[in-house]
Structures are given as structure tokens and as C-alpha cells.
Amino acid sequence: MKLLGIDAIGVSEKELRWGKSFLMANYKRTQAPLVCANLYDKATKKTLVAPYLIKKIGAVNVGFFGLTSDKVDMGISRDSLTVEDPSVAAKRTVEEMHKKGATVVVLLSMLGKVEAEDLVSSVDGIDVVIVGRNTPLLQKGRLIKNTIACYGGEQGQYIGRTLVSLDAGKKMTTGENDTYILGPEVGEKPEVLTLVKSFEDNFNDKLRKAEKARAAKAEIDKANGGTGTTEQAVDHYLGAELCQRCHAEEYKQWQGTGHAGAWQTLVTQKKEATPDCIPCHVLGYKQSGGFQTGDDAPRLANVQCESCHGMGTTHESYPAQTKRITEATCKGCHTISNSPAFDFAIYEPHILHHPPASMPPLPPNPAKQKMMGGH
């Protein structure tokens, strides 16, 4: 984040996943500009990080402050920290920033969608809110009372641009926000690219080594008269090529669905080596017989038959489990952040092997829409 030149960063329980001291050690080391006005260290009774900061951008003093939710579990940090009521903290902090000369105020909210929207409509003086924490992507920001709300989606896949118009007193009059996907058209920053690439290479190398060790162990097991592979003992994935031998019709229909192109999507986006992206775009990520490393792509890439029907080794029980394919089968991948428009009634007909003659069209997928740079 320092490399990217980010001016202010909000804090949620995710930053505290490895505990307070881990976060604080990195905060001190990097001097990353964290802000959070309602997160307190129980020991010192002070805010854990700066409550806000004011940055002169061009000729304008912009105040940034953060708020974290008082309704979530802080995990292992719960004993050392307390969270103050967000509205109380917001009123105090906005007033303080105005006194110190900020004319534009930006809230980095980690409150979730509903709570953030409620807060900005009840606390005056917040010009822009970046709505974070499990919030879906909206390509266009919305005006809530006098605040522009910006919704950037999850996993750093998008970038938002908010333009505000100011009056003579440098106060906001109007504004608008757009969010764009960070596709290959967006230039790479070489330093960041190197950092990400080396992380991915190391990580994938580690996976490859673990997979080799597992295969070697299975060979030894086989030589010793065991079951041959550790997989055969337990149920595992087989891959669509096998199913195709007996279910050519279903296979052909499947090939025409988006599921059969899910891996190519990542390749096109240059994300096929990114661990965060792989799980839902392949078969059985990290499970028995499923996709482990990039080497498995020829056989196990894409959303396949067994992604819906379950491991092929349980084939015998498929008919017994009537209507085993329900909305829950889809929702492991069609999550609110990755498939915000998902509606089982509308999506299901599009994947049925014998699709109905007519069906409602799929809603537009935000991930497919306009790319940065005006394409």
C-alpha cells in the first residue's frame, strides 16, 4: 500500500486477524497511513491508530477518517481492544477535522452497507463514504442525503474514481463516483508487479513441492502394497473427461456454458496464478483429487460436472440423493461479492442440460462491464 502511494487506509477486524501486536509491528515498520476513530486500545485508552488525518491535495484540505464496526468479533484481539459507537465517534471526529481546516471529509467505513448508509444520513458533514466490508460492487456511486457513497466490491479487483465539485469556500457542492474493473488494460506499476509476482511464484512453488511430496508418498505406499494413492482410500474428484465417456450429451451442453470457460477468464485477466482467484474457477480446489497447482489445469481447470454433482467416486449415490442440486450448490461460488446479481430462479435454467425453450436473460455481470480507459 505504501508502494501504491495510498493516502489513507481504514481498519477492520481483518487487519486484526493475527492479533494486535502483529498489526502494530507492521504499522510501525511501514508507517502505513491507517486511520480509525473508534478503535481503542484497552491498556492505553487511546485510539489504536490515528483517528484521522488531513492531507492537502492540490489546494484543498481533505480529511480522512476511519470507522470500524462495533458488531463484529475482533477475534484474538477482542480482549485488548474496544470499539466505540460509530455515530458518536463520527460526530466528534468530523467536528474536529472541520476545526483543523478540512473542507472535504472522507469516511473509510468498515461498517458494512446498511450501517454505513444509515450513519452518513444521520451524521452531517461527511462528503464521501467509501463503503467497505462485505459490500457488493456498484458501478455508480449513490448520493445519500449529502454524501457520495462509493461501493468498490471485494478483493481489490476494482478501482473507484470520485470527482467532487467545490464552491469558493472549497466545500463540496456535487460529485459523482464510478468504479472500474482492474483488467489487463490498466497499466502495471513495475515495483508492485515484481512484489506480487514473487509472492505468487513462491506460493505456487510451495504448493508444487507439497504436491510432489504427496505423490512420492503415494508411490512408496503403493510399492509397499498399499492402496497406491492416498486419494483412492477416500472419495475424490475424477474430472469431466471421464464423465464425458458416458454422458456425451450433458458434456456437450456444459461446454457451451460459462462454467467451461471459467479458467480462460482468469488466463485472459492474467490472474491464473493468483491464489485468491482460483478456487471458484476450477474443480475441487485443494480437495482430494481436485485442482492443486497450475500443472493440473489441463484436466481440472474450469467449473466442471463434479463442481455441482459432487465427487465422481460417489457416483453410485447420485440418483439416491434426489434434488441434491439446490441453490446451496451454487452459492459456494456465486457469493454476494463475486456474483452480486445471482438469483437461482434466473440462473438455473441457463445451466440445465435440457434447458427450457424460453427463459429470462441473465442480468448484466458487473465484472464483465466497462474497463478503465474508456473501452
Helix (H, G, I), strand (E, B) or coil at 9: strand
Distances (CA, A) of 79 to 16, 20, 68, 73, 74: 12, 10, 16, 10, 9
By C-beta, is 146 or 329 nearer to ligand HEC? 329
Compute the least distance from the CB of residue 298 to ligand HEC, in Å.
Answer: 16
Compute the least distance from the CB of residue 182 to ligand HEC, in Å.
Answer: 8
Compute the least distance from the CB of residue 335 to ligand HEC, in Å.
Answer: 5
Question: Which residue shows C-alpha cell 488525518?
Answer: 53
Strand 52-57 to 158-166 pairing? unpaired
Compute the least distance from the CB of residue 141 to ligand HEC, in Å.
Answer: 21
> Are 91 and 38 within 8 A, CB to CB?
no
Compute the least distance from the CB of residue 236 to ligand HEC, in Å.
Answer: 10
> Are 128 and 116 within 8 A, CB to CB?
no
Q: Hey, what amino acid is at 370?
A: K
Compute the least distance from the CB of residue 229 to ligand HEC, in Å.
Answer: 17
By C-beta, is 101 or 256 nearer to ligand HEC? 256
Compute the least distance from the CB of residue 255 to ligand HEC, in Å.
Answer: 8
Q: Which residues contact 360 (CB under 8 A, 6 or more apart)?
A: 346, 349
> Are 24 and 41 within 8 A, CB to CB?
no
By C-beta, is 59 or 345 nearer to ligand HEC? 345
Interacting residue ranges for ligand HEC, rule: CB under 6 A:
155, 157, 238, 240, 242-243, 245-247, 250-251, 254, 258-259, 261-262, 265, 269, 271, 274, 276-277, 279-281, 303-309, 312, 315, 318-319, 323-325, 329-330, 332-335, 338-339, 341-342, 347-348, 350-353, 362, 365, 367-368
By C-beta, is 276 or 295 nearer to ligand HEC? 276
By C-beta, is 172 or 238 nearer to ligand HEC? 238
Compute the least distance from the CB of residue 348 to ligand HEC, in Å.
Answer: 4
Closest among 192, 357, 211, 201 to 293, alpha carbons compared = 211
Closest among 150, 140, 68 to 111, alpha carbons compared = 68
Residue 249, strand partner residues: none
Question: Which residue shows C-alpha cell 460492487?
Answer: 137
By C-beta, is 40 or 263 nearer to ligand HEC? 263
Long-range contacts of 206-210 (CB under 8 A, 24+ apart): 207/292, 207/293, 208/293, 208/295, 210/292
By C-beta, is 143 or 341 nearer to ligand HEC? 341
CA–CA distance, 375 with 369 (Å, rounded to integer): 10
By C-beta, is 75 or 363 nearer to ligand HEC? 363
Q: What totals of helices (H) and strands (E) does the chain contain, helices first?
A: 12, 10
Compute the least distance from the CB of residue 296 to ligand HEC, in Å.
Answer: 15
Compute the least distance from the CB of residue 50 to ligand HEC, in Å.
Answer: 30
By C-beta, is 261 or 294 nearer to ligand HEC? 261
Question: Which residue shows C-alpha cell 447420485?
Answer: 318
By C-beta, is 144 or 277 nearer to ligand HEC? 277
Alpha helices of the chain — where are they, by DSSP H? 20-30, 86-99, 113-122, 190-223, 230-233, 240-246, 248-255, 262-268, 297-300, 305-309, 327-331, 344-347
